[in-house]
Chains A and B, each alone.
Chain A
Amino acid sequence: MSSQQQQRATISNNLSDNITQIKSLFQGSPDLVIREFIIQSIRKTAALVYLGGLTDKNSVNNNVLEPLMFQLNMNPTVSISHLITEDQWRAISAAILGGSSVLFVNGNAEASILDTQGWPQRSIEDPQIEASLKGAHQGFVETGSQNIALIRRYIPSTELKIKELRVGQRGATTVSIMYLGDVAQPEILDELVERIQKINVDAIINAGELGEFIEDNPYSPFPQFISTERPDSAASQILQGRYVMVVDGSPNVLIGPTTFVSFFQSIDDYSTRWLISSFIRVTRYFAFFIALFLPAIYIALISYNYVIIPVKLIISIGESRERVPFPPFAEAILMEITLEMLREAGIRLPAPIGQTVGIVGGIVIGQAAVQAGIVSNIMVIVVASTAIASFIIPNYDMGAAVRFLRFPMMIIASIFGIVGIAAGLMTLIIHLITLKSLDTPYGSPLAPVRFTDWKDTFIRAPLWIMKKRPVNAHPVQLERQDSPQPEENP
C-alpha cells in the first residue's frame, strides 16, 4: 500500500484510478463514504469522499451534492466557505482525516477539498475544576478552533497572533500558540517552537502531555505551565505577554512562561475589591505553608522538640494522645494517606455516591477513629486543616504538588525534627530559585527580587497602579495602561 502511495504522489485525471487509490489508502475504514454521481451541467462523473462521522451531513447534502447534482447552469458552485484545490495524496488524505470532504471530478487532475467538518462536540459549559464566583461561565471545549475563538472574543485585536504547529506522527495534533505580537518576547516563542518541534510521538491527546514534553525540569513536583480551562484567564495571561498553547482535542490550554506566584492568582482576584482580594491572596500563601508544613510541624513538636510547646499545651496534647498506640509519625502518615484516599475516591465517583464517601469518610475520621483510640483529636484537627488549606490554592496542579510534598516533609521531620523542617524549607526555596519556566526564572518576583512585580504578588494592588506588565515574561512592551486613579468627589 505504501509503495503504491510512493509511486503516485499526485492524483491522476482518471476518476476510477483515484477511487481505487483512495480505497487502498483507507483500507479497513468502513466509515469512509465514497459517493459517486454525475455533475449534471458538465456531464462528468465525480466522486465525493469523506469520513462519515467527522463531516456535517447537512452541509454535504445541501451545499455540495444538491447544487452539483441538480443545478443545470454552466458553472455549478458549491456553497462552502472554505475551498482549496489540491493534487497531493498526502494532503488529500490528511484533509479527509481532518473531517473535510474531497471532490474528485473525472478528467481533472486536481481535487477540491471542501470544508465540511462537523463532529460530535460538547456545548460550552461552566468550567468544572476552576469554578469562579464572578468570572465568565464559559469553559474551553475539545475543539481547538472553538477555544481559539473563545479567547479571541476577549482580545479582538490583529496583534493577537497564532502560530500553528503539528505534533505527532499519527495524530498530527494541531497546537496553536497564541500571543500578542507587539508584547510577547520573541525569544521565548523561538524557544517554545523549538521545543515543540522536537517532540516525536504518535499523538498528543491532552494538553498535559504536551506540557510534559516541553517543560524545563520534568523531575520537579511543581507545574511549570499553568493549565487552565478558563478562556478569561487565558486571555488575561496573553495580555500580560505570555504564550497560550491551545491543543486541539483538549479542554485545557497551557500558559507559559509562568512563575511560582502566578499559581496563587485567580481570575476572581481582579473582579473583587482590591483590599479583599489582597486579603484572600495572603490567606492563600498562608494556606500553602499550612498545607505543606503543618503535619511535619506536628510530628517534630510531638516527637522531638516538645520544649517549644508551653507546659499547659503539652499536657492537653498528651492527654489527647494518651490512648494512641502509634508514634506521631505513623499516626500522621495513617491519617494523611486516609485523607488522600478519600479525596481520590471522591473525584471519580458520580456526585450522589461521592457525597456518601465524603460523609462516611468524615464520620470515620472525625469520630470513630478518635473514639477507638487510633488517632488523637489534635491529629484530626491537623489533618482537617491541612486538607482544607491544600484546597485553597486556586490551581489544581499546584495544590497536588503541595499535597505530595507534604509527605517528604513529614518523613524528614520524623528523622530530624525542627532542623529537618528548616532543611526542607531550604531545599524548597533552593528548588524554586533554580527552577525555570521556558528559560525564565520560576521564582520571580521573589528570586530574582523584582519589586515592580510585587504589586500583583502578595497583594493585588488597585488596577490603576498596575501600569506595567509583569517583568518576568520579558514583554517587549512593558507599559500596559495609563488610567488615572478614580478621584474622590467631595
Chain B
Amino acid sequence: MQKSKSIQITWLQFVLLIHGTQVGVGFLTLPRELAKVAGTDGWISIILGGVLSVVASLFIIHAMKRQPEATLFDLFNHYFGKWVGKTASVIFLFYLIGGSLAIIFSIVSILRIWLMPKTPDFMLILLLAVPTYMIVHHGIKMIGRYAELIFYFSLWIIILLAFPLNHSHWLYLLPFIKEGWMPILSATRLTILSYLGFEITFILYPFLMNKKKAVSAVIVANTLTMLFYILTTLVCFSYFSSLEILQYTWPTLSLLKVIRVQFLDRWDVIFLAMYMIVISVTWIVYMSLAVFGVKQLIPKSKPSITTVVILLITLALSLVLDLSHTQVTQMTRTMSNIGIVIAYVFPLCLWGYVKLLEGIRRNHGGDSS
C-alpha cells in the first residue's frame, strides 16, 4: 500500500540497519583485544574509532549525494565506465558475500566451542540457512523491518550487563592515559574493525526516504554502536583486571558467567543463543545487499535463486574446508582488512575522484562558454 512502488526505508530503519550490521561477533572479543594493546584506556580508542567511522560515513554520503537515486553499482558505471565499473561492482559483491560468510562461520564456530562441540559445522549452517533464506530474498525493505525489530529485541543485553556491576572495581580504570597516547592510537586501528558495517550506506543511501537526514542518521547509528561498545568495554574492564582479561578469549561471555539467580545458572549459554539472533542481522544484511547487487548486475536473475546459490556455497564451503576456530579468526581478519580499504580508504578516494571530476567539468564548462 505504499504510494510509490519503489522500495524506501525510514530514517529509523536506516539507522538501525547500520547499527545492526556494525554490532557483530567483534563485540564478544573486543574488550580483550583492546586490553592487550591499550590496557584499560582502550575505551578512548573506541571513541576515536567512532569519530573516524562517522567521518568515513560522511565521505560516503558526500560522494553519493550527486546522484541521490543511483546505487553504488550505477555510480561505478557512471564514473568509471562500463568495464572498470563492472569489475569494481563484482569486487564489492565479493566483499559483501565474503563478509556475510565470515560472520556466519564465526558465530557457528563460537557456538560450537561454547555450546555444541560435537555438532558438525554444516548442520549448524543448515539450521541458520532456513531463516536466512526466508528473509534475504524479500529484499531491503524487509531487512529494514528485521533490523528494527531485532534492535528492540536486543535491548535486554544492556540489562544483563548491569548484573556484574555489583562486583566491579572502577579503580581498575584509573589512571587515565597511563601509558601516553601511542597505545590508544594503535588500538584505534583495532576498534575501527568493529565499526565496519557502515559501508552499507553506499547501497542503502538511495533507498532512504528523506535524504536530507542522511547525515544525522549515520551520526546516530555510529554513536549508538559506540555507546554500546563503550558500555560493554567499561563493564568488562571494571570487572576483570587488565591482566586477567587477557586470559579470556571472549571476555563478554565470561563476564556473564557470574550472573546467577536461584533457578538459572550460566546466563552466558542463554545469552549466546539469543545473541545469535542479534548477530544474524549482520550476515542477513550483507547477504541481501549482495543479492540486491547481483540483481543490479544481472537484471534477469531471481533474488530467491541467488540466495539459494549463496547459501549452498556456504554449506559446501563448510563441508569442504571444515575450518578450525583459528582459521575462522584468520578469515575474519582478512575480511576486516579488506573492509578497512572498502569502508575507510575507498570513500575518500571516491569523494576525491568525484570532486576532481566536478572540478574538471567546471573548468571545461568555463572554457567552452
Chain A residues with a Cβ under 8 A of chain B: 185, 187-188, 304-305, 307-310, 313, 412, 415-423, 425-427, 429-431, 433-434, 439-441, 443, 446-449, 474
Give the CA-CA distance A201 to B16 in the complex, in Å.
46
Q: Which one of A419, A422, A434 contacts B142 once the chains associate, using CB atoms below 8 Å?
A: A434
> In this assembly, does B363 line the interface, its C-beta being within 8 Å of a C-beta of chain A?
no
Give the CA-CA distance A418 to B119 in the complex, in Å.
13
Q: Which one of A418, A427, A431 contacts B273 once the chains associate, using CB atoms below 8 Å?
A: A418
Given contacts A429-B277, A430-B131, A434-B135, 17 further A-B contacts (CB under 8 A): A304-B116, A308-B266, A309-B264, A310-B265, A416-B123, A417-B115, A418-B269, A419-B276, A423-B130, A423-B276, A425-B277, A426-B277, A433-B149, A434-B134, A434-B138, A439-B1, A441-B145
Residues of B254-272 contacting chain A, CB below 8 A: 260, 262-266, 269-270
A-B contact pairs, 7 of them (CB 8 A): A307-B266, A309-B263, A418-B115, A419-B111, A419-B127, A423-B131, A423-B276
Chain B residues with a Cβ under 8 A of chain A: 1, 10, 12-13, 111, 115-116, 119, 123-124, 127-128, 130-131, 134-135, 138, 142, 144-146, 148-150, 152-153, 260, 262-266, 269-270, 273-274, 276-277, 280
Contact partners of A420 in chain B: CB under 8 A: 127
Closest approach, in angstroms, between the C-beta of B219 and any C-beta of chain A? 21
Q: Which one of A185, A423, A443, A449 contacts B1 once the chains associate, using CB atoms below 8 Å?
A: A185
Closest approach, in angstroms, between the C-beta of A421 and any C-beta of chain B? 7
Contact partners of A434 in chain B: CB under 8 A: 134-135, 138, 142
Chain B, residue nearest A423 (CB): B127
Contact partners of A474 in chain B: CB under 8 A: 1
Contact partners of A185 in chain B: CB under 8 A: 1
Give the CA-CA distance A425 to B130 in the complex, in Å.
12
- Taking a contact as CB atoms under 8 Å apart, the answer to whether B277 and A422 are in contact is yes
Contact partners of B277 in chain A: CB under 8 A: 422, 425-426, 429
Secondary structure of the A contact surface, majority rule: helix
Contact partners of B123 in chain A: CB under 8 A: 415-416
Closest approach, in angstroms, between the C-beta of A158 and any C-beta of chain B? 26
Contact partners of B264 in chain A: CB under 8 A: 308-310
Give the CA-CA distance A450 to B144 in the complex, in Å.
13
- Taking a contact as CB atoms under 8 Å apart, the answer to whether A310 and B111 are in contact is no
- Taking a contact as CB atoms under 8 Å apart, the answer to whether A416 and B263 are in contact is no
A-B contact count (CB 8 A): 102
Contact partners of A310 in chain B: CB under 8 A: 260, 262-265
- Taking a contact as CB atoms under 8 Å apart, the answer to whether B127 and A305 are in contact is no
Contact partners of B135 in chain A: CB under 8 A: 430, 433-434
Contact partners of B269 in chain A: CB under 8 A: 305, 307-308, 418
Give the CA-CA distance A313 to B260 in the complex, in Å.
14
Known: A309-B265, A419-B124, A449-B12. A433 touches B111 (CB 8 A): no
Contact partners of A305 in chain B: CB under 8 A: 115, 269
Residue of A188, A417, A419, A431 with most chain B CB atoms under a 10 A cut-off: A419
Contact partners of B1 in chain A: CB under 8 A: 185, 187-188, 439-440, 474
Chain B, residue nearest A448 (CB): B145
Contact partners of A187 in chain B: CB under 8 A: 1
Closest approach, in angstroms, between the C-beta of A171 and any C-beta of chain B? 32
Chain B, residue nearest A431 (CB): B134
Known: A308-B266, A309-B264, A426-B277. A417 touches B116 (CB 8 A): yes
Give the CA-CA distance A251 to B111 in the complex, in Å.
51
Give the CA-CA distance A28 to B186 in the complex, in Å.
95
Give the CA-CA distance A29 to B346 in the complex, in Å.
82
- Taking a contact as CB atoms under 8 Å apart, the answer to whether B263 and A313 are in contact is yes
Closest approach, in angstroms, between the C-beta of B133 and any C-beta of chain A? 9
Contact partners of A427 in chain B: CB under 8 A: 130-131, 134
Known: A416-B116, A418-B269, A430-B134. A448 touches B148 (CB 8 A): yes
Give the CA-CA distance A310 to B269 in the complex, in Å.
13
Contact partners of A446 in chain B: CB under 8 A: 149
Residue of B149, B266, B277 with most chain A CB atoms under a 10 A cut-off: B149
- Taking a contact as CB atoms under 8 Å apart, the answer to whether B263 and A433 are in contact is no
Give the CA-CA distance A139 to B135 in the complex, in Å.
40
Give the CA-CA distance A36 to B145 in the complex, in Å.
70
Contact partners of A421 in chain B: CB under 8 A: 273
Give the CA-CA distance A441 to B10 in the complex, in Å.
15
